[in-house]
Structures are given as C-alpha cells and as structure tokens.
Structure 1
Amino acid sequence: MKATLGDRAIATADAKELVMIEGNWYFPPSSINWSMLESSPTVYTCPWKGQAEYYSHVGGPKDVAWAYIAPDADAVTRIGRDFAKFVAFDSSVVISE
C-alpha cells in the first residue's frame, strides 16, 4: 500500500504490515520517507489511544500525519497489535494499493 501526497510517496508498505484503526491505515515507521515529514507542535490526546504526535509535510501542508509513540496498553490490547510509532495520514494524503 502507498500513502501519496501530490505525486510523491510518503510511505510504502505491504498491506499485511499496516494496522487499520477507526478507518485509518497506520503505516509502520520503517515504511515512512521521513525526509518528507517534520515534527509539528500540534498535540492531541485520544481518550483511549493516548497522546499523538503530529507531522507536517516539509514545505506544507501542516499536520498531515500523526503517530501514537507510546499508545495506552489497553489500546494495544483492543487493537490486538502494538501500533507504537505507526503513522496515519489525513485525507489530503491518498492511500492506495
């Protein structure tokens, strides 16, 4: 699967490596082209997954991706797989097979 912004792939991974949570595909950190993302000051705390860190695309747009660096243990149990540091994308990023 591929996460693309414009004509550039931000992430590429086999579908079996991804995790689906609440309608969002989460890509493993090793599949991310980190040179395209930079840390954002935006923070968010999900009531059941914990605190998320956001990332902006280098040069914009802002806050196109997020990850739970240390998800709550109950969230990992609920999902059935550790998704720490896995990255999900907002709707400006196209996810395709």
Structure 2
Amino acid sequence: MMRAIWNGVVIAETPRTKRVEGNHYFPPESVKREYLADSPTRTLCLWKGMARCCTLTVGGESRPDAAWYYPRPSPLARRIKTHVAFGSGVTVEGTREQAEPRVGG
C-alpha cells in the first residue's frame, strides 16, 4: 500500500501509484480532498502539459503548491490524467502492489 503523509496525517492511500519522473501519482479517488485546495498556480511541462497546483492544509498548517495534477494532459501523459502528485515535504512511503494480470487479452 502506498501512502502520502504530511504533518502526521495520511492524505492519500492506494495499492498502486503511477510513477513518472520519480513522482508517485495517486489516483484521484485515493486522495483525501478535504486537505487540498486549488491554487492559482499553474506549471507547464513540455511533454505532460499544464498542471494545476493545490495548497495542502493539515492541522491548521498550510503548504502552498504542495500537490499538482494534470486535468488535460498531453496524449503522452494520458495515464496520469487527474492523478495527484505531491512535492517536497510530503512523505510518500510504502510498497506498490503489482498490477493485476489482464484476463482475456
């Protein structure tokens, strides 16, 4: 199980993340959205597209732009669409479970 932890609180938890450029991208349903608020900050990656940033708030403490996601990634990055990654200060720990084998394929 993979977990993202900040300020002593698990803010995301999932059996599998998608790893891109050293970052673990958590599926949107695995993220506890009550800890995230959209930020006006946007960043551009030449191959992934435009990312939207989020401010993380836990226990009255905030960390601006500590998370990001790609709502409309480029075709090359479509596998991380709406998945959330966390930046410096957020601990990502655990062991990713193996993908389930495809049946009939």
- TM-score of the aligned structures, taking structure 2 as reference length: 0.82
Identity, % of aligned positions: 36
Report matched runs for 1:37-76 at 5 Å.
37-58=36-57, 59-76=61-78
Letter in 2 for 1:73: P
Give the whole-Å Cα distance in 1 for the aligned partners of 2:76 and 2:6.
Answer: 32
Instruction: Determine which structure has more spread, i.e. the larger CA radius of gyration.
Output: 2
Report matched runs for 1:1-97 at 5 Å.
1-15=2-16, 18-58=17-57, 59-76=61-78, 82-97=79-94
Give the whole-Å Cα distance in 1 for the aligned partners of 2:43 and 2:31.
Answer: 21
Give the whole-Å Cα distance in 2 for the aligned partners of 1:74 and 1:9.
Answer: 30
Give the whole-Å Cα distance in 1 for the aligned partners of 2:29 and 2:76.
Answer: 24
What is the root-mean-square deviation of aligned Cα atoms in Å?
A: 1.0
Give the number of aligned pairs.
90
Letter in 2 for 1:39: D
- Higher share of residues assigned strand: 2
Give the whole-Å Cα distance in 2 for the aligned partners of 1:39 and 1:88.
Answer: 14
Moved over 3 A (4+): none
**Residue 71 of structure 1 aligns to a residue in which SS?**
coil
**Residue 63 of structure 2 aligns to a residue in which SS?**
coil
- Higher share of residues assigned helix: 1
Displacement after TM superposition at 1:74 (Å): 2.5
Letter in 1 for 2:18: V
Give 5+ residue unaligned stretches, structure 2: 95-105
Give the whole-Å Cα distance in 1 for the aligned partners of 2:26 and 2:76.
Answer: 20
